[in-house]
Amino acid sequence: MEINGVKIDDTFAEAFPIKVSRVLITAITERWAVEAAREATGFGTSVIMCPAEAGIECIVPAEETPDGRPGVYIMICNMGWKNLEASLLARIGQCVLTAPTTAVFNGLPGAEKQFDTGKKLSYFADGYQCDLERYGRQLCKIPIMEGDFYTEQTLGAVDGIAGGNFYILAQNQAAALTAAEAAVDEIRRKKGTITPFPGGVVASGSKVGSKYKFLKASTNAAFCPSLREDGVCVLPEEVTAGYEIVVNGVSREAIEDSMRAGIKAACRVPGVLKITAANFEGKLGPHHFHLHKILE
Amino acid sequence: MEINGVKIDDTFAEAFPIKVSRVLITAITERWAVEAAREATGFGTSVIMCPAEAGIECIVPAEETPDGRPGVYIMICNMGWKNLEASLLARIGQCVLTAPTTAVFNGLPGAEKQFDTGKKLSYFADGYQCDLERYGRQLCKIPIMEGDFYTEQTLGAVDGIAGGNFYILAQNQAAALTAAEAAVDEIRRKKGTITPFPGGVVASGSKVGSKYKFLKASTNAAFCPSLREDGVCVLPEEVTAGYEIVVNGVSREAIEDSMRAGIKAACRVPGVLKITAANFEGKLGPHHFHLHKILE
Amino acid sequence: MEINGVKIDDTFAEAFPIKVSRVLITAITERWAVEAAREATGFGTSVIMCPAEAGIECIVPAEETPDGRPGVYIMICNMGWKNLEASLLARIGQCVLTAPTTAVFNGLPGAEKQFDTGKKLSYFADGYQCDLERYGRQLCKIPIMEGDFYTEQTLGAVDGIAGGNFYILAQNQAAALTAAEAAVDEIRRKKGTITPFPGGVVASGSKVGSKYKFLKASTNAAFCPSLREDGVCVLPEEVTAGYEIVVNGVSREAIEDSMRAGIKAACRVPGVLKITAANFEGKLGPHHFHLHKILE
Amino acid sequence: MEINGVKIDDTFAEAFPIKVSRVLITAITERWAVEAAREATGFGTSVIMCPAEAGIECIVPAEETPDGRPGVYIMICNMGWKNLEASLLARIGQCVLTAPTTAVFNGLPGAEKQFDTGKKLSYFADGYQCDLERYGRQLCKIPIMEGDFYTEQTLGAVDGIAGGNFYILAQNQAAALTAAEAAVDEIRRKKGTITPFPGGVVASGSKVGSKYKFLKASTNAAFCPSLREDGVCVLPEEVTAGYEIVVNGVSREAIEDSMRAGIKAACRVPGVLKITAANFEGKLGPHHFHLHKILE
């Protein structure tokens, strides 16, 4: 298969189950909503050594939020409900409650799993908290220095998928990186997914395991252009750099939609030679995303 | 004392000792250096519930970096050397090694305390790592998908100070927030300090302790305008909103310099009524920053 | 009428007819499309002394553009078809043809009025230009240093309206400005309108005419808070600052929609006291936008 | 000559005399100073069909401006003093006087040539203007809706140079563009120069003249990769894309300094093959910038 002359490998991305919460942050301007969202989703690329995987899902206009202010949906992902609940409490409490002019709403109000994170946060008010209904939602009000902070009492979560991915292989680093940026440009408009790595891009794609027993993951040597002389690099001669785009999502469909948009965008960039994906013989997880099926 | 008609309270900020590491991230463009820095310093507002306090210190031009590329200094702060070392390994490993085109240099090469974080990260190369000297620095080279990642072998750290602060009290929220933004504009050019909260601003200034024993900190009720009728708010009648700027730094002098620049900037914004600072009878820490002394 | 406690004056904005062209700029990434759009629409606030009125209308994803790349719609407005044609040729030729990776498409392909701007631009190719059909559009190809530049042969234009407006009056400058930013945040997502002033905001609203005969417009003294002692300021005592949002559009409906969204956003900002609009006894133009009608 | 393995052609950039004014815009925050500067310098790439050449020179902190607020220096360039004066009046009047919270200061107070632009702008106050001395500068105060606008009475200008340039030739478009961005990253920190094209980059480098008599400039066919089969392209086979960086400045030294920093930055990007420059047998102007001399 080819798109714009770029070869699409007949392979699949291997992904794993993860718990996903989705939170809507609103603020007085889009800029401040984004500031809060960035802080709340930072240090959140991979559960290997980050306390969670997190990212900005998309920005929504005032007319799509309960309080009629601009909003940003974020996703926070973790292994197991307990870890996820702890991540929500810490990240929303330390990075959104503290951020100027923000409010917090449940991004998955219909989900079966609901955490009472907002209720727990309200103890910060030291006895001055109160519950109220507004916009058809159950909120807590927390008096703070800037005025009153409002958060929905519960935040929902679902069984999602982490590690959806594709690799962009190119003639040189700048072509691969420009294609990665173009791919992320499209994915960050899509609902239901995030690209948790810095700027949405992974420079150091990894394989499961390592020759060192204390490491869970190590450089994906087969895709390292500078290891060609060592005989471990399997890349075509003309590829000198590659990036990985990792996509987490609330559902298989959301991830497929984002992968499709991202791959198409990447293939429009001159110098991109090949799209492939990473899989690990089932060591990472049970979910498969076949590139050809997604793109047909 | 008054600046531009804004009253400066005769009080002091109470701050506490913290361990501070300073890391220089370079990249192919300033934009990508900033992306990596943001990810590496996110979820890093307060050690109360964040795994570290972290922030962008300042951006430097190519001529001030070892590899002649644009750079961003970040600071990562934690309680105790062991926690700091763990934070460095996780944040640099997960958020900078993974970020496009970056390299990592020691931001405190002359410090007595040095961690071998770069050396530890190099195991990610799964046996293909190597040491080399370049730019007069001892580096590790790690083959990755985009090419080779370079990190200095050691990263330095010093005894620093966290919690330097001032409060901006204003006629309304927008005036306080605009003043906070103006203050952060100046502080983020200064070397040696960070403002770790979202966008550099704290909306929910806290006091030490709470009526709830499970909480280490709670809303600073005396400064909450909406608690006026409850009789706990001590703010002047005309103040309806306030923000706190928290400053961490490598030294007392650096924090004083940033507080001075920030306060002056805040006092230029119409609608700002008063500058004060938070202290807690020694419950937070031994360092005092007297506003009048800093500003005289 | 009140929104969120903010008084909406029972008055109307007076606006005038203008010719409007709408152009779609695509590029390899959204960032580069925006760079080109900014340059092409700069120095374009008011036809009083600018060579055109121009602005960014909205950003669209790859799936909404002919060449499947991210895009930005801009609007260029001028008095009379001839002036508009000259503006298009100069602004697209100097600011988009010269911008990295861009292509140009007709933003009003169904309009009766069509300029052959693309065709004229193609002479830049010095004989190497050629026509072709692609994406169902008639294009010109112009060989340039980065590769080939593509522009649609014709660019459409319609009879539109300039000078739709509302005033945001507030307790202080920061509140008025934050409200103006919130208003512009919403309007810049709407199709069919632009806010041509810097950042979408006018700090120096004007009236038609002046005591100096060589000036077509002068400060709207009745709305200048610092002229209160001179007896010319008609603002309520508690208003100390105001901003104007000017909206140009392809149609009355588009302008009404943007004014509505903008006013609602502004009214959510604490410290905003009143919304009004500017009219000039018919000296500016025949179009009236009654605030109460738009908002009911 | 080679830098990082990139060949530097033994050639020179040909440039021409231009009149240059330098204006300092300050505002309540850096963000608003930049907004005003962008609007004031837009539609300002080349005097061929733009009403001026203009750009942002650099951003300066509060401590380097007369009113202690963050500032942005812009440069406006034109052919002849009269054109320059008209450009200043229109651009400052329409794009800075109208921009939120700005003030205007003379960026060349020591220059022999001084325009009374501020004085002329003050007539906008319709009789309510007044002169005053502040910060050791002679200012005009103009009452406007947001409060009072201050501008220095005179704005200075000097004999400068336009069209300093270098070409970045690369393996593909993304490599050339990333190198161009890296070059502009460095130049925009330098005092005394601007890169007037969109994002600082020219995609369609031109030669003087054309086979069409009505055109002053046309595509530089010898550097168009897609004209290889036509036999007019002189580029090496492996070059498939190039960008030009145009530098205007207040002096030869300033331009040399910026060209040096920009070329060095470009040469650090993988995939860049060659740096050259454009000259036109004296048809453009008398100033020569020899690449080897600048870089030695």
CATH number of the domain to which A202 belongs: 3.30.70.520
Rg (CA), chain C: 20
B205 and B217 share one domain: yes
State whether D146 and C242 contact (CB < 8 Å): yes
How far apart, in whole angstroms, are the C-alpha atoms of residue D161 and residue B218?
A: 61
B161-190 per-position pLDDT tens digit = 999 999 999 999 999 999 999 999 999 999
Q: How many residues does chain A have?
A: 296
Identify the pLDDT of residue B100: 98
Which residue of chain C is at minimal alpha-carbon distance from B178? C174
According to DSSP, the β-strands at D6-8 and D272-276 are: parallel
**Where do we find the tokens 């990665």?**
A180
Q: Distance between CA A209 and CA A216 in Å, rounded?
A: 5
Contact C219, D144 (CB under 8 A): yes
Quick: pLDDT tens for A127-183. 999 999 999 999 999 999 999 999 999 999 999 999 999 999 999 999 999 999 999
Could you give the number of structural domains in chain D?
2
| A vs B: CB pairs below 8 A | 286
Answer yes or no: do A212 and A111 share one domain.
Answer: no
Mark which of B109, B135, B157 sits at the end of a domain.
B157
Mind listing the pLDDT tens digit for each residue in B238-270?
999 999 999 999 999 999 999 999 999 999 999
Query: Of A178, A155, A180, which is closest to residue A167 (Cα–Cα)?
Result: A180
- The mean pLDDT value for C97-116 works out to 98
Same domain, D234 and D127: no
| Site from C3, C6, C29 to mutate, A interface, most A CB atoms within 10 angstroms | C29
- Chain D closest-CA separation from residue A245 CA (Å): 18
Give A272→chain B minimum CA distance, Å: 13
Angle between helices A30-41 and A81-95 (to 10 degrees): 130
What is the per-residue pLDDT for C38? Answer: 98
* A6: nearest Cα among A276, A240, A204, A219: A276
Question: Do B146 and B173 belong to one domain?
Answer: no
Residue of A68, A189, A269 with shortest CB distance to C264 = A68
pLDDT band at B38 (very low <50, low <70, confident <90, very high): very high
* Helix/strand/coil for A236: coil
Confidence of residue B30 (pLDDT cuts 50, 70, 90): very high
Contacts of A176 in chain C (CB under 8 A): none
Contact C209, C218 (CB under 8 A): yes
Number of C-beta neighbours around residue B100 at 10 A: 26
Question: Kindly report the CA angle at D79 between D73 and D80, in degrees rounded to 5?
Answer: 100
C-alpha torsion sign, points A271, A275, A276, A278: positive
Our CA-based measurement puts residue A117 at a distance from the nearest CA of chain D, in whole angstroms, of 35
C171 has a chain B CB within 8 A of its CB: yes
Same domain for C8 and C22? no
Same domain, B74 and B136: yes
CB environment C231-258: b (16+ within 10 A), e (fewer): eebebeeebbbbbbbbbbbbeeebbbbb
Nearest CA in chain A to C177: A29
3-state class percentages of chain B: helix first, strand second, coil last, to nearest 5:
30, 35, 35
Burial class (CB in 10 A: 0-12, 13-18, 19+), B281: exposed
Distance from CA of A271 to the nearest CA of D (A): 6
Q: Chains C and D: how many Cβ contacts under 8 Å?
A: 286
Among A157, A174, A204, which residue terminates a domain?
A157
* Residue closest to C40 by CA, chosen among C155, C123, C129, C147: C155
- Of the three residues D101, D127, D157, the one that is the final residue of a domain is D157
pLDDT of residue C204: 98
Contact D172 A174 (CB under 8 A): yes
Indicate the residue of A29, A68, A268 with minimum beta-carbon distance to C69: A268
The whole-number pLDDT of residue A13 equals: 98
Give the H/E segment covering residue C81.
helix C81-95
- Torsion D278-D280-D284-D287 (CA) sign: positive
Closest A-chain CA to C187 = A61
Query: Can you give the pLDDT of all 296 residues of chain D as single tens digits?
Result: 999 999 999 999 999 999 999 999 999 999 999 999 999 999 999 999 999 999 999 999 999 999 999 999 999 999 999 999 999 999 999 999 999 999 999 999 999 999 999 999 999 999 999 999 999 999 999 999 999 999 999 999 999 999 999 999 999 999 999 999 999 999 999 999 999 999 999 999 999 999 999 999 999 999 999 999 889 999 999 999 999 999 999 999 999 999 999 999 999 999 999 999 999 999 999 999 999 999 98
Q: Is residue B169 located within the same domain as residue B230?
A: yes
Contact D100, D146 (CB under 8 A): yes
Give contacts of C225 with chain D, Cβ < 8 Å.
145, 147
Say if residue B80 is exposed, middle or buried (CB neighbours under 10 Å; 0-12, 13-18, 19+). Answer: exposed
- Neighbours of C, requiring at least 3 CB pairs below 8 Å, are A, B, D
Sequential pLDDT tens for chain A (296 residues) = 999 999 999 999 999 999 999 999 999 999 999 999 999 999 999 999 999 999 999 999 999 999 999 999 999 999 999 999 999 999 999 999 999 999 999 999 999 999 999 999 999 999 999 999 999 999 999 999 999 999 999 999 999 999 999 999 999 999 999 999 999 999 999 999 999 999 999 999 999 999 999 999 999 999 999 999 889 999 999 999 999 999 999 999 999 999 999 999 999 999 999 999 999 999 999 999 999 999 98
Which chain D residues in 212-251 lie under 8 Å from chain A, judged by CB atoms? 240-241
Task: Tell me how long chain D is.
Answer: 296
- Quick one: pLDDT at residue D217? 95
- Phi, psi at A71, each rounded to 5°: -135, 160
Give the pLDDT confidence score for residue C91 in this predicted structure. Answer: 98
Closest CA to A71 of C189, B287, B95: C189
Q: Chain D contacts of B30, Cβ < 8 Å?
A: 185
Judge if ipTM > 0.90.
yes
Q: Does the distance separating the beta carbons of C178 and A70 come in below 8 Å?
A: no
Across the interface, whether the CB atoms of B181 and D29 are under 8 A apart is answered yes
C138 touches chain B (CB under 8 A): no
Interface residue D168 vs chain A (CB under 8 A)? no
Domain match, A124 and A137 both: yes
Residue B266 CB contacts under 8 Å (≥ 6 apart), including other chains: B6, B166, B168, B179, B180, B182, B183, B245, B272, B275
**Does A172 reach chain D within 8 Å, measured CB to CB?**
yes
- Which of C93, C177, C205 faces D49 most closely, judged by CB atoms? C93
Residues of D in contact with B268 (CB under 8 A): 28, 67-69
The partner residues of C56 in beta bridges, in order of sequence, read C74
Residue contact B185–D62, C-beta within 8 A? yes
**Domain identity same for D122 and D183:** no
What torsion do the CA atoms of A216, A219, A220, A223 make, to the nearest 10 degrees? 170
Q: Which residues contact C78 (CB under 8 A, 6 or more apart)?
A: C18, C19, C47, C52, C53, C84, C86, C87
Candidates C175, D28, A144; CA nearest to B167 is A144
D174 shares a domain with D92: no
Helix (H, G, I), strand (E, B) or coil at A240: coil
Domain that holds residue B206: 2-14+160-295
Whether residue A113 is found in the same domain as residue A138? yes
- For chains B and D, CB pairs below 8 A equal 58
Q: Which residues share a beta bridge with B173?
A: none
Do A172 and D177 make contact, defined as CB atoms within 8 angstroms?
Answer: no
Q: Does D208 touch chain C (CB under 8 A)?
A: no
- Decide if C259 contacts C247 (C-beta within 8 A): yes
Provide the greatest CA pair distance for chain D: 67
Could you give the CA distance from residue B27 to residue B104 in angstroms, rounded to a whole number?
Answer: 9
Q: Taking the complete model, does pTM exceed 0.90, yes or no?
A: yes
B132 interfaces chain A, CB cutoff of 8 Å:
no
- Both A195 and A98 in one domain: the answer is no
Residue A29's pLDDT is: 97
* pLDDT band at residue B45 using 50, 70 and 90 as cut-offs: very high
The pLDDT tens digits of the residues spanning B112-127 come to 999 999 999 999 999 9
C92-95 contacts, C-beta under 8 A, 24 or more apart: C92/C23, C92/C40, C92/C117, C92/C121, C92/C151, C92/C155, C93/C121, C93/C124, C93/D49, C94/D43, C94/D45, C94/D46, C94/D48, C94/D49, C94/D50, C95/C36, C95/C39, C95/C40, C95/C42, C95/D42, C95/D43, C95/D45, C95/D50, C95/D198
